[in-house]
Structure 1
Amino acid sequence: MNIIALYQKSISKLYWFNGIPALLLRLFLAPIMIIAGFSKLNLSDPDVTGFEILLASDNVVNWFSNAEWGLGLPYAELLANLAAWTEFLGGWMLLIGLFTRLITLPLMFTMVVAATTVHLEHGWFAVAPSNSAVSTANVLDWLGIDAAQRSLENSDQVYVRLNKMREILAENGNTDWLFEKGNIGVMNNGIELAATYFIMLLALLFIGGGRFTSADYYLYTYWLKPKLQLNNTL
């Protein structure tokens, strides 16, 4: 057996395991979406009771509506509740792989809205790199993109500020305790995470919930497929 035939045979065996990548994508995304939606709802506020626990919190609605420090969107209450429940219910649907392709569409839309209205002005990085030598912006800089050089310069400034923070903390704080859970960083709040989640959701749109690993697979195999076969015989 030549190398090409062996390769083709090996690849054909992967068919039986192609549900695993979809499962891993879903398991990665589901908690993120669930908590994103949960945090927008009054469900997360122990002081709110009754029907109001199912609604978006006042803080979230105000953030959607206020043009000065928020998104400045019309119909803020409606949009806030749609966003919250899309993320919350959508996350649970992703977790079990139910109507996976369908739910990715509104979730992708929320990622686009988040990226363009909240994160775009801050650039790409979610956490600002503090070492320009290993920043991924170098690749874009090699390709001659001007914005990449500005990003690298920003990394150098982040490095200076982080060092100053460490100096201040070393002089005035218990650094063993302060850094026990991890080092300090500068939140850049760019579109990196929203874009990453969008790409992962886009992948699920194309590949579905996963063979053997999703509710979609069993719904199709044991409910929809027999009905389709029956209709074709009538």
Structure 2
Amino acid sequence: MQALIQTWQRVFAATQSLEGLAPLAIRLYLAPVFMQAGWNKFSAFSDTVAWFGNPEWGLGLPFPTLMVILAAGTELVGGLLLILGLFTRLISLPLMVTMLVAIFAVHWSNGWLAIADTSSWLANEQVMASAEKLERGRAILQEHGNYDWLTSSGNFVILNNGIEFGATYFVMLLALYFLGGGRYTSLDYFLSRKAS
């Protein structure tokens, strides 16, 4: 048992210099997600403002123009900062806020699942109702479209738009908040070494 513990300690010590790879992987995964979301908001700015502000068919948020600017700006600038590993902990906070707003204002009523999967133990009433829509959609496509071509890149699915992705991104950002940008893999690391 002592030999096993010593082997583990040697392996851990040898891989400690690679500990920056996990934050780097998280940063590089999240950066394009946020940059695309920010770009989408800015590229359809007036439509996004209308959706943010309208209480009947949108989110009904106050100051929708300001909210879109803040959300899209945070996502675009935040994505760039994540790529660089610069101010990682700092930018994680407003990005977490955007995820909380998305979770509670947009996705919460749809349950957990992002894609409707009636076989999931997380399937809610809305997901279960999607089974009929999925079958009808397949029938229409098979009758009037080139179904084999349409599904050659993947299955035909119903989007449920639940909190799954937002919650996952929030947890990843929370990890970055505590881990930082990463040893040897971020500008944060090199700036902190230079400062000390």
Question: Same fold by TM-score, threshold 0.5 exceeded?
Answer: yes
Provide the TM-score with structure 2 as the length reference. 0.92
Output the CA distance in 2 between the equivalents of 1:73 and 1:160: 33
Identity of aligned residues (%): 48
| Aligned residue in 2 for 1:99 | 87
Bigger Rg, structure 1 or 2: 1
Output the CA distance in 1 between the equivalents of 2:128 and 2:57: 29
Tell me, yes or no, if structure 1 residue 204 matches structure 2 residue 192: no
Contact map agreement 2:110 2:126 (CA 8 A) in 1: no
Q: Return 208-217 or 166-175, whichever deviates more.
A: 166-175
| Aligned residue in 2 for 1:51 | none
Structure 1 residues 14-163: aligned runs within 5 Å: 14-41=15-42, 44=43, 57-130=45-118, 132=119, 135=120, 137=121, 148=122, 151=123, 157-163=129-135
SS in 1 for 2:103: helix
| Aligned residue in 1 for 2:150 | 178
Structure 1: which 5+ residue stretches go unaligned? 46-56, 138-147, 226-234
Contact map agreement 2:59 2:105 (CA 8 A) in 1: yes
Output the CA distance in 2 between the equivalents of 1:161 and 1:62: 29
Deviation at 1:160, TM superposition (A): 4.2
Structure 2: which 5+ residue stretches go unaligned? none
Aligned length: 195
Tell me, yes or no, if structure 1 residue 8 matches structure 2 residue 6: no
Q: CA RMSD in A?
A: 1.7
Output the CA distance in 1 between the equivalents of 2:104 and 2:150: 34
Contact map agreement 2:41 2:72 (CA 8 A) in 1: yes
Give the aligned residue type for 1:167: A
Provide the TM-score with structure 1 as the length reference. 0.78
